[in-house]
Amino acid sequence: MYVTDQDRFINGACEVETELEPLGLLDELQAIENDMGRKKLIDKGPRNIDLDILLYGDEKVQNERLNVPHIGIPEREFVLRPLAELIPSKPLYASQPWKLVQDYLNDLTPGEPLSSITPLSSTLAPLTPLVPDRKTSVMGILNMTPDSFSDGGRNNLESLSNTVIELVRNGASIIDVGGQSTAPGRPEVSAEEEASRVVPAIELIRSIPETRHVAISVDTYRASVAEKAIASGADIINDVSAGALDADMLPTVGRLGKTICLMHMRGNPQTMTKLTSYPDGLVPTVAAELLSRVAAAEAAGIRRWRIILDPGIGFAKTGAQNLELLRSLEELRAWPGLQGLPWLVGTSRKSFIGKVTGVEEASQRVWGTAATVAAAIQGGADVIRVHDVREMSLVTTMSDAIWRARD
Ligand SMILES: Nc1ncnc2c1ncn2[C@@H]1O[C@H](COP(=O)(O)OP(=O)(O)OP(=O)(O)O)[C@@H](O)[C@H]1O
Ligand SMILES: Nc1nc2c(c(=O)[nH]1)N=C(CO)CN2
Ligand SMILES: [Mg+2]
């Protein structure tokens, strides 16, 4: 990981007993590194020894010299694997699915190539797209737009706080905060206005004990909004344009080291409804266009293990194309160059469901949405993005029981 142009090296974890305080222990470890003649010329590059403190009992340390738990743990399988061997009984993250990751890591044959682990936050178990019995994550939509079709504006912090607590109680492990609608033809708001809608929501979620551990995603295609959101505590940037609408987006997320969702779309929300021609086939074209966004993201410094893909249901697609994509998720997941990356699928209440079922009112499209969620999970989705969190969490649990069994 990080610097791949270097010799192979060995990683291990060990448990020690010490009377040293955390900073004293760091001093001791650094003295050993120095004694061994450590030279570090490239950040994360070759060095003859590296001694890090991963955990210190259950203590948390946060100062300019030391962060414990080590902030690199959630994205480093070379750390997770020896840790899982060492402390199989200790869940390292707040949420339950971590146990599954730990069991999975413990089952791996030593020496197997590293598999893929996508961190969502520093407290939530990462996505493990290659684990057959992984649980699908539910991303709950929190619209902070006054024009949203789902639930209107939310100015009142107390009711907002109840809303997010409810989302989490009902099964959301990720909250997707949006300050501007990307539905076809909705008005654009200024970046300042958009940031002023999402930042207070992020701060609020981080301040409520019950929701502090969820991952916060921000639905934006603007780099300046992403930067402010991350500064307020967001973990994931959900960019419906996959970085194409703002040249600063990919470098910003790369620099800040966060996870990004790259969604397939064409044009912008104003023009996309006309851009539905796929003469070389829908699935091959969506795959190829996503491959080029992945390449752009990596070139901008975003780590491959911090990328989530999304077929972009309802974006530059006809109703029939949305259905075809839902049917083809397995093929997309297996596409050469895209294997091992996690997928998010967002179908919730969208108009193709209205078209098929004849339900005009978006908020009444719950049953139709349920069928799409089941289909997405059958196709291998790792995250589903929904409005009706309670109902769709039940659909997810049931779909996982059917499709995410180990055999
Ligand atoms: N838990 C920790 N263990 C060790 N060093 C830490 C920890 N938290 C913060 N640091 C700081 O990180 C600095 C850089 O560490 P080092 O040069 O070993 O980087 P590295 O090992 O390449 O990176 P990483 O620690 O991310 O693997 C150290 O000087 C130390 O002050
Ligand atoms: N990642 C992702 N983000 C979205 C999606 C979607 O399908 N996927 N749909 C939206 C419009 O409802 C808004 N944002
Ligand atoms: Mg180190």
Domains of the chain: 22-107 (3.30.70.560), 137-404 (3.20.20.20)
Q: Which atom of ligand 2 is nearest to the CA of 238?
A: 1
The string over 332-364, giving b where at least 16 C-beta atoms fall within 10 Å of a residue's C-beta and e elsewhere, is bbebeebebbbbbbbbbbbbbbbbeeebeebee
Work out whether the CA dihedral 226, 227, 233, 235 comes out positive or negative: positive
SS3 call for 365: coil
Q: Give the per-residue pLDDT at 153.
A: 43
65 lines ligand 1 (CB under 6 A): yes
pLDDT, one tens digit for every residue, the chain (407 residues): 888 888 888 889 999 999 999 999 999 999 999 999 888 788 888 888 999 999 999 899 999 999 998 988 888 888 888 888 888 887 777 666 678 788 888 887 777 777 789 999 988 889 999 988 999 999 999 999 875 544 444 457 889 999 999 999 999 999 999 999 887 778 889 999 999 999 999 999 999 999 988 999 999 999 999 999 999 999 999 999 999 999 999 999 999 999 999 999 999 888 888 999 999 999 999 999 999 999 999 999 999 999 999 999 999 999 999 999 999 999 999 999 999 999 999 999 999 999 999 999 999 999 999 999 999 999 999 999 999 999 999 999 999 999 998 76
Determine the distance separating the centroid of ligand 2 and the alpha carbon of 349, expressed in angstroms: 11
Q: Give the per-residue pLDDT at 149.
A: 42
Determine the distance separating the centroid of ligand 1 and the alpha carbon of 208, expressed in angstroms: 30
60 lines ligand 1 (CB under 6 A): no
240 lines ligand 2 (CB under 6 A): yes
Pocket test for ligand 2, best of 385, 387, 392 (most atoms within 8 A of CB): 385
Q: Which atom of ligand 1 is nearest to the CA of 43?
A: 22
DSSP element (H, E) containing 361: none
CB contact at 8 A, 100 and 117:
no
ipTM comes to: 0.85
Question: Is the whole-model pTM more than 0.95?
Answer: no
Q: Which atom of ligand 1 is nearest to the CA of 76?
A: 27
Tell me the helices (H) and strands (E) count for the chain, helix number first.
13, 10
Strand pairing class (67-68; 61-62): antiparallel
- Please tell me the chain's helix, strand, coil percentages from 3-state DSSP, rounded to the nearest 5: 40, 10, 50
Smallest Cα–Cα separation from 396: which of 214, 127, 406, 376? 376
Per DSSP, which regions of 144-243 are E strands?
174-178, 215-219, 236-239
Determine the distance separating the centroid of ligand 3 and the alpha carbon of 50, expressed in angstroms: 5
52 lines ligand 1 (CB under 6 A): yes
1 lines ligand 1 (CB under 6 A): no
Cα 270 to Cα 140, 188, 248, 255, distances in angstroms:
25, 9, 21, 30
Q: Which one-letter amino acid corresponds to residue 369?
A: T
Cα 53 to Cα 70: distance, rounded to the nearest angstrom = 7
Pocket test for ligand 1, best of 3, 20, 26, 36 (most atoms within 8 A of CB): 26
Work out whether the CA dihedral 13, 18, 20, 21 comes out positive or negative: positive
33 lines ligand 1 (CB under 6 A): no
Smallest Cα–Cα separation from 346: which of 294, 388, 292? 388
Closest ligand, as measured to the CA of 66: 1
Pocket test for ligand 1, best of 1, 52, 68 (most atoms within 8 A of CB): 52
Closest ligand, as measured to the CA of 70: 1
70 lines ligand 1 (CB under 6 A): yes
Residue nearest atom 25 of ligand 1, based on CA coordinates: 52
Q: Which atom of ligand 1 is nearest to the CA of 54?
A: 1
Determine the distance separating the centroid of ligand 1 and the alpha carbon of 336, expressed in angstroms: 35
Q: Which atom of ligand 1 is nearest to the CA of 26?
A: 4
Cα 137 to Cα 131: distance, rounded to the nearest angstrom = 13
What is the set of active-site residues?
Answer: 350, 385
CB contact at 8 A, 264 and 289:
yes
Cα 256 to Cα 95: distance, rounded to the nearest angstrom = 24
Q: Give the per-residue pLDDT at 190.
A: 95
Residue nearest atom 19 of ligand 1, based on CA coordinates: 44
Please work out, in degrees rounded to the nearest 5, the angle formed at the alpha carbon of residue 319 by the alpha carbons of 315 and 323.
Answer: 95
Pocket test for ligand 2, best of 263, 341, 383 (most atoms within 8 A of CB): 263
Determine the distance separating the centroid of ligand 2 and the alpha carbon of 315, expressed in angstroms: 8
Cα 340 to Cα 29, 97, 391, distances in angstroms:
36, 18, 29
Smallest Cα–Cα separation from 344: which of 328, 329, 360? 329
Determine the distance separating the centroid of ligand 2 and the alpha carbon of 346, expressed in angstroms: 5
Number of Cβ within a 10 Å radius of residue 134: 20
Q: Which one-letter amino acid corresponds to residue 241?
A: S
Work out whether the CA dihedral 292, 297, 298, 299 comes out positive or negative: positive
Closest ligand, as measured to the CA of 46: 1
> Who's near 33: CB < 8 A, 6+ residues apart?
49, 50, 51
